[in-house]
Each structure stands twice: as structure tokens, then as C-alpha cells.
Amino acid sequence: MASHADEPNVDAIVETLVYLYTESRRLTKAKAREFGLTGPQLTVIKMLDQLGKLSLSSLSSRIQARNSTVTGIIDRMEREGWVQRERSTKDRRIVLIKLTDQGKKLAGEIEVEPMEIFRDGLASLPTDDLSELFRILGVLQAHVRKAVKDSPDV
């Protein structure tokens, strides 16, 4: 029910956003490769290094992926010996993920951030632009969150 094609900028903005996301992800992946990691694996290992043990679910929501996706990622990381699954004693449904010693060592050697190129771009912006961007994206996020909530997921 949206009326499109009334504001030509919209198409350009969407295109730019997709470009920024896709290309940043590609460059991150290429960097991660140098450490024998994939993109998502880099994100996970950094996150565990900073936050310690995390349940699979909280890991999923933090990296914006579904549990079924993260199960696979952790499977492969466990196979490589970087992480370890551990059943929570309080709630035996919960699987906690933690870095192994080898995983911690690897995490320490990595000097790359996920979406690093995009971050660098942001860092080069004047503070005012950063604030504006933060504000506007916030509005957009609220809009999308509402749409997600109202969508037929129930």
C-alpha cells in the first residue's frame, strides 16, 4: 500500500545501503580469511572474547541470525577446536558457548573488526553527521521494528 516512485532519492538510498552492507561484508570476509576464519566466525570469536560464555540464543540475536544458522556455525567452530559447547546446569535446555584456549589465542591475534571498512568510513565523518545519521537510522529502525512486530509471525 506504499506509494513508491514519488521520491527518486529513495531508490538511490536503498541501493547505497545495500552496497555498503554487501561490500563491507565481503571485505570483512576477505580479512577473516587471512586468519583461517569466515566472516561470521570472526564476529562470533570476537564477541565471545569480549563477553565470555554466551548461550546459543543470545549469540543468535546478537549477530542477527536464527538459531538454526548459528548451530551450524558453532558446529564448524567446534570442529576446528576454537569453541566448546557446555550445557547450562540451571536450565538444561540452554547450550553455553565458550572459547577454548586455542580460540582465545586466535582471538588475541586478530586485529580486524566486523564491518571494519564501514566503521572506518564512519570514523572519518564529522561528529554532527554521525549524530544525524544515528538519529535518522534510529527512526528507520523503529519503523522496521514495528513492521516486524506486526508481521504474521504469530
Q: Which residues bind a copy of itself (CB under 8 A)?
A: 2-4, 6-7, 9-10, 12-14, 16-24, 27, 30, 64, 113-125, 127, 129-134, 136-141, 143-144, 147-148, 151
Answer with the entry of a copy of itself, DNA, none that 53 interacts with (C-beta below 5 to 8 A by kind). none
CA separation for the pair 98, 84 (Å, rounded): 5
The residue among 118, 122, 149 whose CA lies nearest residue 19 is 118
Contact between 114 and DNA per CB under 7 A:
no
What is the rounded distance in angstroms from the CA atom of residue 24 to the CA atom of residue 114? 8
Which residues, in sequence order, are bridge partners of residue 97?
Answer: 54, 85
Q: Is 115 in the site for DNA (CB under 7 A)?
A: no
Residue 117 burial (CB count, 10 A): 16
Q: Which helix (H) or strand (E) holds 23?
A: helix 8-33
Q: Which stretch binds DNA (CB under 7 A): 5-13, 68-76, 116-124, 135-143?
A: 68-76
CB of 38 to a copy of itself, least distance (A): 16
Is 100 a binding residue for DNA by CB under 7 A? The answer is no
Q: Quick one: 85 or 119, whose CB is closer to DNA?
A: 85
